[in-house]
Amino acid sequence: MAPTSLPILNISAYRFVPIADPQALRESIRSRATDLGLKGTVLLAEEGINLFLAGLETAVRAFVLDLRADDRFAPLEPKESWSADVPFGKLLVKVKREIIRMNHPHVRPAGGRAPSVDARTLSRWLDAGHDDSGRPVVLLDTRNAFEVDHGRFRNAIDWRIGKFTEFPDAVRANAHTLEGKTVVSYCTGGIRCEKAALFMAEAGVGHVLQLEGGILKYFEEAGSAHFDGGCFVFDEREALAPDLTVRS
């Protein structure tokens, strides 16, 4: 339920799934979102969908219900937060080569997801200092440096990349430092850490997991445990606190 003082529902969601005609889907999504008065960004590609939208709760939930009626998007589980105002100036629906650009099109999560760890399990591992097999756990931030500067998991590895396309080279240069550890890649909502985990596995890094749902899902399920600061978001709110409100 929405807090009475915060009428705007913000959602973020993605799904790697083959889309044969993203241009046709673009028109239908743009039309429906416009009719519902939603604002934000929807990215489409042959590899899937990535969206950030905001509006009145009834409108947002109607949009999600319509989207899930398509079998390709039925599993979508948007991450939610609330705000006093819509933090986007307009609606953009774009067709891209990748819904999250890495410049490695052979890394296709729709062909098989990377193994994942949920927020509560990760928090328990961090409390213990190791995973259930006794292996040391390291967290790897896959976001851009300026995002990391707003907040991060304590003692996380940060390669100070300027954009996600730099991540593969950073892996190649640093893979040896990850040997013998359980590596948990994380990002804002899950999309980058999913591709990152798959790339690392292909590059020969053993014991790689992605944080299911990213930081936003972690905040929802585990709060601020082991996390310092807030989570940068790509809208006018700038950053969210662990209670998913705008960070002051």
Which listed residue (187, 193, 197, 209) is catalytic? 187
Please state, in angstroms and rounded to a whole number, the distance separating the CA atoms of residues 76 and 181.
31
Q: Which of 157, 140, 147 is nearest to 199 (CA)?
A: 140
* β-bridge mates for residue 50, sequence order: 14, 43
In sequence order, the β-bridge partners of residue 43 are 50, 94
Q: Please enumerate in sequence order all residues whose Cβ is within 8 A of that of 113, keeping only pairs 6 or more positions apart, or say none.
A: 16, 194, 198
Distance CA 245, CA 17 (A): 31
Which stretches of the chain are DSSP H helices?
22-35, 57-68, 119-128, 145-148, 167-174, 191-202, 214-222
227: left (phi over 0), alpha (psi -120 to 50) or beta: beta
Backbone angles phi, psi at 3, to 5 degrees: -60, 135
* Euclidean distance between the first and the last CA atom of the chain, given in angstroms as a whole number: 23
231 belongs to the catalytic site: no
Half-sphere exposure (CA, 13 Å, Cβ side) for 158? Answer: 17
Token pair recorded at residue 129? 């200092």
Q: Indicate which residues carry an active-site annotation.
A: 187
